[in-house]
Amino acid sequence: MTQAVEFLNRGGPALWTIAVLSVVTLGLILWKLWRLSLCGAWRRGPAERAVALWRDGRRDEALERLRGRSGLRARVVRTAMQAEREEPGAPAREETARVARAVLMEAGAGLRALDLIATIAPLIGLLGTVLGMIEAFQALQDSGARADPAALAGGIWQALLTTAAGMAVAIPASMALSWFDSVNARLAHDFDDLATRILNPASRGTDA
């Protein structure tokens, strides 16, 4: 613990800030994985089986299969089925689209924070490096002819720590953001596919 504190102190406030961002990034990634798993982001089976029943004309059974399910796809499919029963046509499509947008917004919660961290972490690191370099060259100027190259080099590498740390936080944040975006894109495709097969019985479902 003492060594970690000493290491962070070498980078100054910028390195401490990046350390906090790294903890926040890890927390966001774990929270997103937990939330998406809880919401069934990777489970398409129940919704697919309900749609198959619906297209076979077993509508009551299809709705019963979705009763009590809180998965993302199940919510959109249940909305489409109920809307098609109550107000078929354009009203059903509008209601289904409204719920699908709300579900996608829910699935995308936290992504803006990851995007922000991926953007500002390298900038904070660069700011820390610039400030560290300014301090190092001020020390060089003050020492005049007695300048110690080893001390100057030490000041420079300590200043560069913040840039490296900022990139170390931004890279995994960017990778996680890209993957979560792909999950959302897959969900949007599935919502459209499942709803189309409910609201337009003549259409053919696409394979996952």
* H or E element that contains 20: helix 2-38
Which residue segment(s) compose the domain that 170 sits in?
2-199
207 pLDDT more than 50: no
**Nearest-angstrom CA–CA distance, 116 and 77:** 33
What is the pLDDT, as a whole number, of residue 118?
94
Residue 137 lies in a domain: yes
Which of 82-96, 120-134, 194-208 bottoms out in mean pLDDT, i.e. has the lowest? 194-208
What is the pLDDT, as a whole number, of residue 177?
94
Q: How many CB atoms lie within 10 A of CB 207?
A: 5
39 pLDDT more than 70: yes
* H or E element that contains 186: helix 149-199
What mean pLDDT is predicted for residues 172-185? Answer: 94
CB 197 within 8 A of CB 49: no
- Averaged pLDDT of the chain: 83
Residue 126 lies in a domain: yes
- Residue 116 is classified by DSSP as H
Q: How confident is the model at residue 117 (pLDDT cuts 50, 70, 90)?
A: very high
Residue 205 lies in a domain: no
Q: Dihedral through CA 73, CA 74, CA 79, CA 84, nearest 10?
A: 90
203 pLDDT more than 80: no
21 pLDDT more than 90: yes
**Nearest-angstrom CA–CA distance, 11 and 157:** 10
Q: Give CA angle at 72 (71, 73), nearest 5°.
A: 95
* Token pair for 189: 């495709």
In 3D, which of 2, 32, 4 has the Cα closest to residue 117? 32
Helix, strand or coil, per DSSP, at residue 162: helix
What is the pLDDT, as a whole number, of residue 172?
94
**Nearest-angstrom CA–CA distance, 153 and 92:** 69
CB 41 within 8 A of CB 183: yes
Domain count within the chain: 1
Residue 56 lies in a domain: yes
Residue 103 lies in a domain: yes
12 exposure class (CB count in 10 Å sphere: 0-12, 13-18, 19+): middle
Residue 193 lies in a domain: yes
What is the pLDDT, as a whole number, of residue 204?
43
**Nearest-angstrom CA–CA distance, 171 and 174:** 5
* Token pair for 10: 């070498």
Residue 208 lies in a domain: no
Residue 204 lies in a domain: no
